[in-house]
Amino acid sequence: MRRNGENGPLPPRLSRYFEQHNYWYYRTREGIDIGPFDSLDAAKLGAAAFIDYVVNQNPQFSNVLCQFRAAA
């Protein structure tokens, strides 16, 4: 699926969700892994809540997330 403003061939994309040691996680666009969750469904709900939260924050909030990524 194309994202808004994308042209040309689609770039390869990884799944936002992954399982590790019998727990589920999701990865943000900023590269932060969030979890653990007991199920894929729980991880999807967590990701939806996170996206909703970020969308309703100050536009500079993404910069704060990038700072956490750099510290990891």
Q: Is 37 a member of any domain?
A: yes
pLDDT at 49: 92
Report residue 8's pLDDT band, with 50, 70 and 90 as the boundaries.
confident
Q: What is the pLDDT of residues 11-68, one digit of tens each?
A: 666 788 999 999 999 998 778 899 999 999 999 999 999 888 877 877 777 777 777 6
On the CB side of 37, CA atoms within 13 Å amount to 19
Q: Is 12 a member of any domain?
A: no
Q: Is 55 a member of any domain?
A: yes
pLDDT at 42: 97
pLDDT at 56: 82
Q: Is 63 a member of any domain?
A: yes
- 69 φ/ψ angles, rounded to the nearest 5 degrees: -60, -45
Q: Is 59 a member of any domain?
A: yes
Give the chain's domain count. Answer: 1
Q: Is 46 a member of any domain?
A: yes
Q: What is the domain range of residue 24?
A: 17-71
Q: What is the pTM of this model?
A: 0.66
